[in-house]
Amino acid sequence: MSTPPASIAAAADEAAPRSRRGRPGYDRAQVLEIAVRLFNEQGYDATSVSSLAAELGLSKAALYHHFSSKEQILQIALDDALGGLEAVLEDALSGEQPTAARLVSVIQGAVRVLTSRLPQVTLLLRVHGNSEIERAALERRRIFDQRVAKLVAQAQREGELRSDIRPSVATRLMFGMINSLIEWYRPAHTSLTPEELVGDVTRVIFDGLRAR
Amino acid sequence: MSTPPASIAAAADEAAPRSRRGRPGYDRAQVLEIAVRLFNEQGYDATSVSSLAAELGLSKAALYHHFSSKEQILQIALDDALGGLEAVLEDALSGEQPTAARLVSVIQGAVRVLTSRLPQVTLLLRVHGNSEIERAALERRRIFDQRVAKLVAQAQREGELRSDIRPSVATRLMFGMINSLIEWYRPAHTSLTPEELVGDVTRVIFDGLRAR
């Protein structure tokens, strides 16, 4: 369903209680952010529209001025995560660069997407295929993984990557490491910047931890 | 709570319907296995003793002859996973070997624990600290991680590991890769053996994917 025109959303904001629980009114982006946080904390299935409205201090009607359904919020958040990752892959595949450089771009771009869209990617990685939207997201992840695995296979054929590990396994191990960021990387609670993390992940994946 | 004497458990098995849903009676290990599978599929909190009894085709009373509570089953499964990982670390730290070799032992042993106890480790990695048992498990994981990070720091000081990555970050990236196995490694559905996986993970962590 499409976004309501700004004037309607604004009118909805006016109508909604602005300071219940001492909070100001929310715009669409803020509702989305809080909804995704709740989904990650409580589980998507376990989060009702009522509990989301309660958390926001909005009536369900006011919430429905921002989004047509809980599913729409899920869809937008998953699109955000998947769209980010897919754009990274498209970027890496376009232009003239060696295969190994494309792979470096994919890995570094993926780390940047994860660190900048942590809540959305967290939601994506916890999706289990319980609905059509979730199954479509899993299918997009599968296609993404396959395309990266093809890149790994090509870099192996070109002699850039070691060929004693299956491309599919190398891809899963790489993304196992990258995706683990959602479990432990908390930008607000560490001096480790996203760009340091990009460098660390790249070094471990390509050169390993051994001193040379 | 302690295990009931074998004779009581056997008597309980006799009393329970043996062939409801066409299944035979279960021993304690089988009940544990099915319970852990259900916890992983449905979530621990969402799995009731009633639904577990129904899945087994047992009465709740018969189930309580095997285990005193749902919490006891969780505790046993988490102990199994954590005990396996801790034993790997103790083994690696005992005896006379260089620090880097100890770290290789920890990584390879951890992959073996994960592949041989996938359901229990899956349960462990999804624990969020919602109860005393879960918080105790998280604390044991934290201590394990800290001890591994100390090993990484020591190997860096000895010049065996690159020192341009913080020990805590290197440890998280390593275990991010290793722990991802629970998401994708299915021994029954792949020709990749656990020992091949041990080799692949070791090579990537220490030497990276780049061809040399």
Please give the torsion angle defined by the CA atoms of residues B93, B107, B121 and B68, in that order, rounded to the nearest 10 degrees. Answer: -10
Backbone angles phi, psi at B180, to 5 degrees: -65, -20
Which residue of chain B has the CA closest to A175? B177
- pLDDT (mean) for B61-86: 95
Domain count, chain B: 2
Instruction: Classify residue B212: in a domain, yes or no.
Output: no
ipTM above 0.90, yes or no: no
Give, in degrees to the nearest 5, the angle at Cα A151 between A146 and A81.
Answer: 55
Co-location of B11 and B98 in the same domain: no
Which residue of chain B has the CA closest to A212? B162
List the domain range (segments joined by +) for residue A107: 71-207
Report the DSSP beta bridge partners of residue A161.
B210
- A183 near B CB under 8 A: yes
Higher pLDDT, A16 or A212: A212
Instruction: Classify residue A75: in a domain, yes or no.
Output: yes
* Euclidean distance between CA atoms A91 and A88, whole angstroms: 5
Co-location of A80 and A167 in the same domain: yes
Contacts of B197 in chain A (CB under 8 A): 169
Q: Domain end: B52, B68, B84, which one?
A: B68
Instruction: Classify residue A1: in a domain, yes or no.
Output: no
* Euclidean distance between CA atoms A154 and A151, whole angstroms: 5
- pLDDT (mean) for B95-115: 96
Contact A123, A36 (CB under 8 A): yes
- B158 near A CB under 8 A: no
Q: A-contacting residues of B 55-94, CB under 8 Å?
A: none
Q: Domain end: A16, A51, A68, which one?
A: A68
Residue B9: closest CA among B37, B36, B31: B31
Q: What is the pLDDT of residue A11?
A: 40
**Diameter over CA atoms, chain B:** 65
Q: Quick: pLDDT tens for B74-95.
A: 999 999 999 999 999 999 999 8
Q: Quick: pLDDT tens for A52-83.
A: 999 999 999 989 989 999 999 999 999 999 99
Co-location of A99 and A144 in the same domain: yes
Co-location of B187 and B91 in the same domain: yes
Instruction: Classify residue A36: in a domain, yes or no.
Output: yes
| AA letter at B204 | V
Instruction: Classify residue A212: in a domain, yes or no.
Output: no
Place of tokens 């004779």: B7
Q: Quick: pLDDT tens for A92-118.
A: 999 899 999 999 999 999 999 999 999
Contact A174 B212 (CB under 8 A): no
Instruction: Classify residue B116: in a domain, yes or no.
Output: yes
Rounded to a whole number, what is the distance in Å from the CA of A99 to chain B's nearest CA?
Answer: 12
